[in-house]
């Protein structure tokens, strides 16, 4: 993959092993400013491993740059300070802390910028009046939104979203996805991992499909037929397809 001059996040040659298992094989990826890119793939395809590797949670061969700076050797903490911020699968909130306290955790290590507690409350109006409620008392959808708020106050340049729709009711997933364009308007790029291909294709300008740790298809959603994407997702050949 040729690195485009305007790319913000660039990963090349990512190979990641979990013990004996190679979870990623020579994966490359690019995200440009203001862009929403989706990584899709079946269970175990390596999507979370890819996101966690970008966030600095797995050792990798290869190279990761953010706005031209090589961040491959940096800790997760240092990557957050540079604007690479992840909303992990399963939300990972502090259950005994309030909504407000959970969000402020995100601000403690982040960059300064336009996103603060107030701006998050403006975006998710219901939170303001419930700011002192414990995370423990929230529904799954509410927890997911708090986890997104926690990431936003770190003022990401690239926001990494890992399976934000997992375990949530479709109506809640719809609400969360409808908020994504607002984030992109504030000049943030989003890289999201999603098992629901249809959902991902509706919002992404580009996508990348993984299968057993390898990229099987990449491009704009309109570049491929439903059958081609399905073949790349499940790993069967299509006639004349890639
Ligand atoms: N910490 C780990 N130790 C050992 N193997 C792991 C670990 N994390 C992931 N794996 C394995 O690596 C492969 C890729 O897993 P990964 O979680 O990245 O896939 P995924 O596409 O995100 O799938 P899912 O949607 O199920 O989370 C799988 O075979 C998984 O079992």
Residue 109 maps to a domain: no
In which domain, by residue range, is 70 found? Answer: 9-92+156-234
DSSP conformation class of 124? S
Question: What's the domain count of the chain?
Answer: 1
Residue 102 maps to a domain: no
Tell the residue nearest (CA) to atom 6 of ligand 1: 18
Measured between alpha carbons, how far is 4 from 12 in angstroms, rounded to an integer?
A: 12
Tell the residue nearest (CA) to atom 23 of ligand 1: 44
What pLDDT digit, counting tens, does each position of 183-192 carry? 887 778 999 9
Taking the CB of residue 176, how many other CB atoms lie within 10 A of it? Answer: 17
Tell the residue nearest (CA) to atom 12 of ligand 1: 23
Residue 118 maps to a domain: no
Measured between alpha carbons, how far is 68 from 91 in angstroms, rounded to an integer?
A: 30
Residue 123 maps to a domain: no
Cβ atoms 16, 56 nearer than 8 A: no
Question: How far away, in angstroms, is 120 Cα from ligand 1 center?
Answer: 31
What pLDDT digit, counting tens, does each position of 215-237 carry? 999 999 999 999 999 999 998 76
Residue 77 maps to a domain: yes
Q: What is the pLDDT of residue 5?
A: 58
Residue 120 maps to a domain: no
What pLDDT digit, counting tens, does each position of 105-143 carry? 999 888 899 999 999 999 888 999 999 999 999 988 889
Measured between alpha carbons, how far is 28 from 12 in angstroms, rounded to an integer?
A: 4
Question: How far away, in angstroms, is 126 Cα from ligand 1 center?
Answer: 34
Q: Which atom of ligand 1 is nearest to the CA of 42?
A: 21
Residue 43, ligand 1, Cβ within 6 A: yes
Tell me the pLDDT band of 242, cut-offs 50, 70 and 90: very low
Higher-confidence residue of 168 and 152: namely 152
CATH number at residue 220: 3.40.50.300
Nearest to 140 by CA among 116, 115, 171: 171
Cβ atoms 131, 121 nearer than 8 A: yes
Question: How far away, in angstroms, is 46 Cα from ligand 1 center?
Answer: 6
Q: What is the pLDDT of residue 239?
A: 52
Tell me the pLDDT band of 85, cut-offs 50, 70 and 90: very high
| pTM as predicted | 0.92
DSSP-assigned states of every residue in 181-233: HHHHHTT-EEEEEES-HHHHHHH-SEEEEEETTEEEEEE-GGGS-HHHHHHHH
Question: How far away, in angstroms, is 54 Cα from ligand 1 center?
Answer: 15
Residue 214 maps to a domain: yes
Q: What is the pLDDT of residue 205?
A: 95
The complex scores an ipTM of: 0.92
Tell the residue nearest (CA) to atom 10 of ligand 1: 18
Cβ atoms 233, 42 nearer than 8 A: yes
Residue 176 maps to a domain: yes
Cβ atoms 189, 157 nearer than 8 A: yes
């Amino acid at each position: 993959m040729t690195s485009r001059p305007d790319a913000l996040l660039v990963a090349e040659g990512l190979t990641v092993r979990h013990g004996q298992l190679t979870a990623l094989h020579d994966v490359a990826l690019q995200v440009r400013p203001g862009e929403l890119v989706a990584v899709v793939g079946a269970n175990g395809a390596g999507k979370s491993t890819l996101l966690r590797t970008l966030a600095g949670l797995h050792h990798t061969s290869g190279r990761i740059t953010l706005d031209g700076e090589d961040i491959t050797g940096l800790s997760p903490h240092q990557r957050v300070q540079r604007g690479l911020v992840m909303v992990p699968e399963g939300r990972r909130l502090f259950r005994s802390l309030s909504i407000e306290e959970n969000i402020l955790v995100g601000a403690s290590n982040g960059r300064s910028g336009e996103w603060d507690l107030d701006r998050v409350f403006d975006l998710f109006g219901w939170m303001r009046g419930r700011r002192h409620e414990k995370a423990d008392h929230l529904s799954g959808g509410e927890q997911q939104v708090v986890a997104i708020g926690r990431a936003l106050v770190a003022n990401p340049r690239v926001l990494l979203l890992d399976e934000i729709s997992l375990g949530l009711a479709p109506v809640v997933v719809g609400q969360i996805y409808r908020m994504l364009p607002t984030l992109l308007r504030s000049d943030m790029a989003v890289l999201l991992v999603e098992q629901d291909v249809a959902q991902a294709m509706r919002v992404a300008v580009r996508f990348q499909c993984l299968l057993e740790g390898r990229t099987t298809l990449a491009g704009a959603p309109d570049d491929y037929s439903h059958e081609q994407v399905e073949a790349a997702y499940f790993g069967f050949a299509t006639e004349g397809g890639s």
